[in-house]
Amino acid sequence: MIKKIRIIGVIGHPIKHSLSPVMQNAAFKAAGINYRYLPFDVKPEECFRFIRLLPRLGFTGINITVPHKETAYNSVDYLSREAKLAGAVNTIKVHNKKLYGTSTDGEGLLRSLKMDADFVVKGKSIIILGAGGAGRSIAVYLATKGAKKIIIANRTPGNALKAVALVRKASPLTIVFAIKLKDKFVRFYSNTSDLIINATSVGLNTTDTAVISHKAIRKGIIFYDLIYNPEVTSNIKEAKKGGAKTYNGLGMLLHQGAVSFEFWTGKKAPLSVMKRALQKGLREAP
């Protein structure tokens, strides 16, 4: 008997550099389940319609990447608590013709911090560089997971204040405030913090100038860059020079993928297979 193939997609614009297909297809194969994971380049103006058509097109689920996470949030029938906290959806499951949206980024980061850096968020003081979509959603997530203090450092103060307000609303007991994205302020708070996360888009290009220099870094602090390509960003270089223990975002990519896999299949994700596929995909990337 031929087993039914289930289709999972990833939509984005552009999408051709996504590493999720190699990671998820390796996972489905290792788990022995008949799923296929395919990339779709969907333009912003087509996104809402594409998502609403998923049940009729026979999809089991999708991932959503840049720039569609907010549209996805507004397209589904049901939102998980994580999606509501993030104000974004990066994973949808189709069940009984209805669309269930969630966000696996926050949990992906949390698991990566635990497994890669042996870092538990509860009770910790965390500086987040950046207050765009990524910065806001991780700030809120880490606060709701018990961080004692969240400090947002952003180039544009208005955006930092918006992030502060979101954290306050989601987690009233967390200490949260904004500072300028300048070495001397980051350094001052780095002395009493446990972790610095780069959630700005700076570092995606190898020629980018880092948002902080080594002078902003307390020796021994953990520095986590959400960017994973390039492997060593301009910010990681500065953090290393300042004596930080550094990590890039590959672990977060892996673990958000694992949480998505579990959301679709109800099975535990084969982590080591997924990690190897990701590393291979990255080595072969243009």
Site residues (vs ligand ATR, CB under 6 A):
130-135, 154-156, 159, 181, 200-202, 211
Using CB positions, name the residue nearest to ligand ATR.
Answer: 132
Q: Which of these, 111, 73, 122, 77, lies nearest to 96 by C-alpha position?
A: 77
Helix (H) / strand (E) containing 257: helix 250-265
**Least Cβ distance, residue 232 to ligand ATR (angstroms):** 19
Q: Which CB sits closer to ligand ATR, 132 or 146?
A: 132
**Least Cβ distance, residue 229 to ligand ATR (angstroms):** 14
Q: Which CB sits closer to ligand ATR, 60 or 248?
A: 248
**Least Cβ distance, residue 130 to ligand ATR (angstroms):** 4
Among residues 3, 16, 29, 69, the one annotated as catalytic is 69
Residue 180 among the catalytic residues:
no
Structure tokens at 225: 């860059």
Structure tokens at 80: 């998980």
**Least Cβ distance, residue 154 to ligand ATR (angstroms):** 5
How many DSSP H helices and E strands does the chain contain? Answer: 11, 12
Q: Which CB sits closer to ligand ATR, 68 or 275?
A: 68
Q: Which of these, 52, 31, 36, 29, lies nearest to 4 by C-alpha position?
A: 36
> In the beta sheet, which residues pair with residue 225?
198
Radius of gyration of the chain (CA): 19
Q: Which CB sits closer to ligand ATR, 199 or 277?
A: 199
Q: Which of these, 131, 127, 133, lies nearest to 175 by C-alpha position?
A: 127
Give the sheet arrangement for strand 35-41, strand by strand.
Answer: 35-41, 6-12, 59-64, 91-95, 98-102, 78-79
**Least Cβ distance, residue 99 to ligand ATR (angstroms):** 22
> Cα separation of 126 and 223, whole Å?
10
> Cα separation of 129 and 139, whole Å?
10
Q: Which CB sits closer to ligand ATR, 83 or 277?
A: 83
Question: Active-site residue numbers?
Answer: 69
